[in-house]
Structure 1
Amino acid sequence: MRTIKLLLMLVAAISFTGCKKFLEKPPQGKLQEDEALVDEASLQAFLNGTFNTQATEIYNGRLWFINDLMSDEVNGVLYTEDNGEIYNRRTSIFGAFKNDTYTRIYQNIYRANKVLEKLSLASGNKNKIEGEAKFIRGLMHFEAVRMWAQPWGFSADNSHLGVPVRTAPNIDVIDRSTVKQVYDFVVADLQAAEQLLPDAPVLGYPSKWSAKAVLAKVYFQQNNFAKAFDYANQVISSNKFAMDNMQTKRFSLSDSKEIIYGFKNTQSVLEPGSELRDRYRSDGTNFSPNNDFKVTDQFFNLATQPGDQRAAWYTTINGYHPITKYNANQFNVSIIHLTEIKLIRAESGAELGSANLAIAIGDINDILSRAYAGTSMNLPANASAADVIRVTRIQRELELIGEGNRLQEIKRITARTNASPDRRGASAFCPGLVLQFPQGEHSGNTNFIMNIEGGCN
């Protein structure tokens, strides 16, 4: 019992070091870790604490808000300080909100590596523990490389610089790996997790289907449509998940059938989504146009078409258009869900053509039928691939508003077409769509190459 109590205190101590630069000093509790991690139970408890920190420090809305600030859906003309720097796509070595996010991502990687270092302590649940640790490590590297590096496809062989790949629980000075090296590492970790994780989905923990779903996202980000389609198809065909009859169930206390990986709200124990409420909420006195998320007039008009049930996700306050998606005191948080996987299969299927096109049309019609409460807006059975791709990209924006999606789509489509779809007029591969690293990386390693600064205009 003393060991477990010490372990829980350790996880809490590490969780509160997010504002410190991770690479300037070892995470607190290094000695306590070795004392506390003594058997399989303590190892699993430490790993469970890592999922809690994901829910409360990274996927609480923090990572999505940074993505959304840099998108072309947001009206950010009133933003100042950290928010203004991110919105204006001119990040520097400063900016605690951005830098703390980087720190927290790599602290999660550190914890996963610590579990893998101590894996010999595991016995009966060894596969599950190893799979969870590799899932976390792969997912966190994927999130980091998408934010702090130019996208897959920026260079012909993807030899442009990515992020540091950390494979051990230490703070050794290391350089940035190439984007190809990072993606190869991410895929290897997720494929290992796919084989090791349990089959049955449990909200709050990854299953093999979570790993497959993230692999679908990874391959889709690479515009590798054959593999993206394959993994998305495996998830959908498993029949482990089903489309909710209402989009609002994904972020509510209802038992959504769509959530493939996410976090369950347990009152007074784990209440995820704190920054979703702080940054996106618009009911009562919670909305501030100077700080909170609001969409442009252009996107508001796109998202509030007659008959579209998702128009209820928007409101207008003093001429601004915030969203209502997270207007609740408590809700479960869906990190990856069936709607997104259907959107991946739809666009990938249209790109591949042949029999896959019919599957793609079926997927996008499932989404349209729910959105419009009927088939009035459905695509015909003979819709062209180009039409399916166009409609799917629109539906992706509408379904995933406030989920940090659009920035990564701008990057992915730019890599696919060599032309930026950015409504704010960014040129292809502009440096401002990549975050600057914290100064701590360069201070610890003068050979560390920082990103180019200079915005997008």
Structure 2
Amino acid sequence: MLSTVVLAGCSDDLEVKPYDGLTFDQTTNTPEGLKAATIGNYSYLKDSYYTRNYHMLTEYASDNVALSGTTTDPLFYAYNYQHLTSMSITTNFFRKAYQAIYGTNVVIEKLKEGQSAELDQILGENYFLRAMVHFDLVNVFGRPYAQDQGASLGIMIRDNTDINDLPARSTVKQTYEFILKDLEKAAQLMGSTKNSSFASKEVAYALLSRVHLFMENNEKAIEYANMVINSNRYALVSTADLPKYFSFASESNKETIFAIKHTIQDDRGWASLGSMYLSDGMGYGEMYASASYRDLVNKFPDDKRREFIVPVYLRNADGSIRTGADGKPLLASRNGYEKYFITKYSYQEGVVTLSSPVYLRLAEMYLSRAEANAKLGNHAAALEDVNLIRQRSGLSGDALFSPSNMMGYTSVLDVVLDERRLELAWEAHRKFDVFRNNRTMVRNYPGTHLLSGQTTQEIPYTHPRVVFFIPEEEIILNPNLVQNP
């Protein structure tokens, strides 16, 4: 109020500009302004409305997890496939995603191609981010491409900053075509010098491989995976370092292709991804490794991926592990569900709840190549890549696959899909891997996804809740949108 009085008494000739009082045009009409805007677009990804909600919508619907209690948090409806049209996690994810897309469109519209290599890099990063966010959206709200070759409804494609434009939903096929075009443009514009906290040429190649895999363009999926692998920019972390993979800062991890960078200033504490998976002085520790995943990974005691799971034991007063009459350790439980914590989103740089979610990594490229080769009938090549990942996990000898040692499997594709599950668990892959391959999500294990008296939950790939409802509020705002069945 005092400032208002003082300024009112000043001469009309005195023009006062606050230090941050630049207009929108002033901040987006300079190269430095567009660079800053691009950093802002990355920041949308690490917003909890984007990353946390995306994780809950995808990983919590998989067979890798078991929730140990009921909750009023809408994550419960994602977990048990009882979706609502007014779930805050879908509404907030939808809006944050389109905010990010709007931000990329600002830069793409303002930045002219060919001014310099540096500015082309910035432009390419925005094309990548726009493609990535559209891809995440269409996989949450649109049915898997391979089920009907993309004929079903996808999402709104937003390629401009016209806020009065209210597009209808494009088909999944149209959305994928838009994504591919953006990624190819991004790869053309970008170089290979930026670390994994930013997009680069190989980051675009890696996502192109995934998109083509989802479309079952298997030759193209292999082609782009090879471009990443043969770039020699990345290497699998060692067997010894594998259990510590997610504790390393992402830009210093030689296997990570792209991660959503979080620093200590970005630590979400109780709201972090890891908080639901682990309790260690902080964290709820309510989402556990499922019995079916544990059964799969425990087939081979030397598998280093077992170390991402931490069984929680009852303790005596002196801190020692309590044992039963049979001498075996007694597991702690919550609501009758045995506690098996998961550490993939914890302990980055020693901080319990800090994590930089990994979006693309080299192991995925080998496994995508393996899946594509399996579908093309190149079984020897597929098993070779599977064995490469298994060897890195500490397995050897009879624990490796061969035509004469299929370990009970009758299909190489089944081998690959189980290896993807083992390697990429809790990294938001499993739900898509099951349904895009026309498989059933089998959750016949303890957890609150089961109603009282039930022992099984099986979600067929044809189920309408393979995808989420378009947020009801968005349909009110844009009457051109059509709801999912």
Say whether the fold is shared (TM-score over 0.5): yes
Q: Do the aligned residues in 2 keep the contact of 1:6 with 1:36 (CA within 8 Å)?
A: no
Cα separation, 2, equivalents of 1:406 and 1:93 = 24
Cα separation, 1, equivalents of 2:127 and 2:51 = 21
Kindly indicate whether residue 43 of structure 2 is the aligned counterpart of residue 52 of structure 1: yes
What does residue 151 of structure 1 align with?
Answer: 144
Q: Do the aligned residues in 1 keep the contact of 2:50 with 2:96 (CA within 8 Å)?
A: no
Instruction: Return closer, same or farther for 1:359/1:50 CA change in 2, 3 Å cut-off.
Output: same
Return the offset for 1:32: 4.1
What does residue 370 of structure 1 align with?
Answer: 392
Return the offset for 1:388: 3.4
Cα separation, 1, equivalents of 2:24 and 2:442 = 46
The TM-score with structure 2 as length reference comes to 0.79
Kindly indicate whether residue 162 of structure 2 is the aligned counterpart of residue 170 of structure 1: yes
AA of the residue aligned to 2:297:
A
Give runs of aligned pairs for residues 207-222 of structure 1, distance below 5 A: 207-222=200-215
Instruction: Return closer, same or farther for 1:341/1:282 CA change in 2, 3 Å cut-off.
Output: farther
Instruction: Return closer, same or farther for 1:395/1:4 CA change in 2, 3 Å cut-off.
Output: farther
Q: Do the aligned residues in 2 keep the contact of 1:62 with 1:276 (CA within 8 Å)?
A: no
Q: Do the aligned residues in 2 keep the contact of 1:315 with 1:321 (CA within 8 Å)?
A: yes
Return the offset for 1:135: 0.3
Return the offset for 1:382: 6.4
Kindly indicate whether residue 99 of structure 2 is the aligned counterpart of residue 113 of structure 1: no
Return the offset for 1:195: 0.8
Gaps of 5+ in 1: 8-30, 453-457
Return the offset for 1:201: 4.1
Instruction: Return closer, same or farther for 1:224/1:249 CA change in 2, 3 Å cut-off.
Output: farther
What does residue 345 of structure 1 align with?
Answer: 369
Cα separation, 1, equivalents of 2:442 and 2:107 = 41
Count of residues in correspondence between the two structures: 417
Instruction: Return closer, same or farther for 1:209/1:398 CA change in 2, 3 Å cut-off.
Output: same
For the residue of structure 2 that corresponds to 1:137, the secondary structure is helix
Cα separation, 2, equivalents of 1:87 and 1:332 = 23
Return the offset for 1:85: 1.5
Cα separation, 2, equivalents of 1:405 and 1:147 = 12
What does residue 482 of structure 2 align with?
Answer: 449
Return the offset for 1:56: 3.5
Return the offset for 1:387: 4.4
Cα separation, 2, equivalents of 1:275 and 1:105 = 19
Q: Do the aligned residues in 1 keep the contact of 2:199 with 2:258 (CA within 8 Å)?
A: yes
Question: Paired residue for 1:33, among 10, 15, 24?
Answer: 24
Return the offset for 1:421: 4.8
Deviations 1:87-114 (CA, angstroms, capped at 9, x unpaired): 2212222121221111111111110001
For the residue of structure 1 that corresponds to 2:258, the secondary structure is strand
Instruction: Return closer, same or farther for 1:332/1:248 CA change in 2, 3 Å cut-off.
Output: farther
Kindly indicate whether residue 436 of structure 2 is the aligned counterpart of residue 412 of structure 1: yes
Q: Do the aligned residues in 2 keep the contact of 1:44 with 1:129 (CA within 8 Å)?
A: yes
What does residue 342 of structure 2 align with?
Answer: 323
Deviations 1:361-415 (CA, angstroms, capped at 9, x unpaired): 221111111213544411237678964322221121111111111111122111x
What does residue 327 of structure 2 align with?
Answer: none
Aligned-residue CA RMSD (Å) = 2.7
Cα separation, 2, equivalents of 1:376 and 1:370 = 15
AA of the residue aligned to 1:168:
N
Q: Which moved more, 1:137-146 or 1:270-279?
A: 270-279
Cα separation, 2, equivalents of 1:348 and 1:397 = 16
Instruction: Return closer, same or farther for 1:390/1:282 CA change in 2, 3 Å cut-off.
Output: farther
What does residue 323 of structure 2 align with?
Answer: none
Cα separation, 1, equivalents of 2:357 and 2:18 = 27
What does residue 262 of structure 1 align with?
Answer: 259
What does residue 178 of structure 2 align with?
Answer: 185
Q: Do the aligned residues in 1 keep the contact of 2:310 with 2:341 (CA within 8 Å)?
A: yes
Gaps of 5+ in 2: 1-15, 313-332, 444-456
Instruction: Return closer, same or farther for 1:5/1:180 CA change in 2, 3 Å cut-off.
Output: farther
Deviations 1:397-450 (CA, angstroms, capped at 9, x unpaired): 111111111111122111xxxx53544311232111111111222112334211
AA of the residue aligned to 2:388:
D
Kindly indicate whether residue 99 of structure 2 is the aligned counterpart of residue 99 of structure 1: no
Return the offset for 1:352: 1.8
